[in-house]
Amino acid sequence: MQLRYNFRLYPTPGQQVALARAFGCARTVFNDALRARQEAREQGLPYVSDGELSKRVITRAKVSTERCWLGEVSAVVLQQALADLNIAYRNFFASVTGRRKGVNVRSWTCPGGVSHDRDVNAAINILAAGRAESLNACGGTVRPSLAVARPDEAGTRSKLPATSAA
């Protein structure tokens, strides 16, 4: 049996600063690691291993002058950011190649039997928005239709102000 609890945290101002610092450092490490992997892939270099990535974006970055503030937060936060990147990176390529279980992110079939392709749908939606058409690839609206302003709506006037005749 699994239990689930819902609760809300109310951090103090000092804790809010510490959390913001930890989240910011985690985002920086994640983005730096992603950039390193993408650059290696674009340049045809071998896959950057998890250990090398950790050395490059955490250990070496902490001693550099431009990223020395990474040492102010727990290393657990930074390592978890790398672990999250590794999972996301592997899941992305597994889904593109069809090795990942679950719904394929590139194409799918709705219960009604209609087949969709993510890239084709994006192209249709962009084209429809550019042409100011009202329907997208899935039949939904691209833009809300124009509506007449209500007379009591802020910023509207039902009549022009009366001018006094002298």
How far, in Å, CA of 22 to CA of 77, rounded?
7
Note whether 93 and 17 are same-domain residues: yes
**145 occurs within a structural domain:** no
Query: pTM to 2 decimals?
Result: 0.58
Note whether 92 and 128 are same-domain residues: no
Q: Give alpha helix (H) positions in the chain.
A: 13-42, 50-54, 60-63, 75-97, 118-131
126 φ, ψ (degrees, to nearest 5): -65, -45
Residue 145 has pLDDT above 80, yes or no: no
Q: Could you give the angle at the alpha carbon of 72 between the alpha carbons of 68 and 76, nearest 5°?
A: 110
Q: What is the pLDDT of residue 105?
A: 62
**75 occurs within a structural domain:** yes
Q: Provide the pLDDT confidence category of residue 165 given band limits of 50, 70 and 90.
A: low
Note whether 132 and 71 are same-domain residues: no
Structure tokens at 159: 């009549």
Query: Domains in the chain: how many in total?
Result: 2
Residue 144 has pLDDT above 60, yes or no: no
How far, in Å, CA of 115 to CA of 106, rounded?
11
Q: What is the pLDDT of residue 161?
A: 54
**154 occurs within a structural domain:** no
What residues make up the domain containing 110? 106-139
> pLDDT tens for residues 75-133?
999 999 999 998 888 887 787 777 766 555 677 677 777 777 777 777 777 766 666 55
Compute the average pLDDT of residues 60-89.
90
Which residues touch 104 (CB under 8 Å, ≥6 apart)?
95, 98
Note whether 25 and 74 are same-domain residues: yes
